[in-house]
């Protein structure tokens, strides 16, 4: 009787520890990097490559968390009011916009405003010749610039949850442009910039 009680107590401690370790290992193994060093040697690592690395590719290994189905209410919101986020490396506004979308667990399409085709789509969508990012599109509603209240209101009105109930699987890896690759002549594409003011 005493032995059984001791064994049950040990199991109650051991099971959560083993599960926590398994989840930690799974999370660490989920992100892989492929990159080429200065000598042309290809590397595969689970840590971000050095800044001088070339041909960097991020790869995500599927984990058990990726297999969780999207709740029905979230499926309906995504079907009726699909979300697209137009973004680029614009600093704090873009980072905060991405953080909000991730925190709320919003299924979305991320479009890189550095791509000339995306720039043309964004200009048409916003009716502006400037490429100001970030821009949120929820169904037909377009929110230009970053202002947390406006982004939250647009998502709330479409029926999206305020907190994450589902995690979007990682997007297909985008190949990072080679630093030594020739660049498009100036004037061929606009440089995305942070929006100076938020408007709908």
pTM of the model: 0.55
Quote the tokens at residue 200: 């709908």
Q: Looking at the predicted structure, is the pLDDT value of residue 104 above 90? A: yes
Element (H, E) at 133: strand 132-133
What does the alpha-carbon distance between residue 21 and residue 92 come to, in Å, rounded to a whole number?
Answer: 34
pLDDT of residue 198: 44
Q: Is 63 helix (H, G, I), strand (E, B) or coil?
A: coil
Q: Looking at the predicted structure, is the pLDDT value of residue 176 above 60? A: no
Rounded mean pLDDT of 44-53? Answer: 82
Q: How confident is the model at residue 45 (pLDDT cuts 50, 70, 90)?
A: confident
Residues of the chain above pLDDT 90, percent: 40
**What is the DSSP pairing of strand 83-87 with strand 108-112?**
parallel
């Amino acid at each position: 009787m005493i032995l059984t009680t001791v064994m049950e107590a040990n199991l109650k401690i051991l099971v959560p520890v083993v599960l926590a370790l398994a989840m930690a290992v799974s999370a660490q193994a989920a992100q892989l990097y492929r990159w080429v060093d200065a000598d042309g040697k290809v590397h595969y690592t689970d840590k971000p490559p050095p800044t001088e690395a070339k041909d960097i590719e991020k790869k995500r290994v599927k984990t058990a968390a990726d297999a969780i189905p999207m709740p029905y209410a979230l499926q309906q919101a995504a079907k009726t009011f699909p979300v697209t986020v137009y973004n680029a490396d614009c600093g704090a506004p873009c980072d905060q916009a991405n953080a909000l979308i991730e925190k709320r667990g919003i299924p979305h399409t991320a479009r890189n405003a550095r791509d000339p085709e995306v720039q043309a789509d964004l200009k048409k969508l916003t009716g502006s010749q400037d490429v100001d990012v970030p821009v949120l599109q929820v169904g037909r509603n377009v929110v230009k610039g970053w202002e947390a209240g406006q982004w939250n209101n647009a998502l709330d009105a479409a029926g999206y949850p305020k907190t994450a109930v589902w995690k979007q699987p990682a997007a297909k890896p985008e190949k990072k442009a080679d630093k030594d690759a020739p660049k498009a002549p100036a004037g061929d594409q606009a440089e995305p910039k942070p929006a100076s003011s938020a408007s709908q």
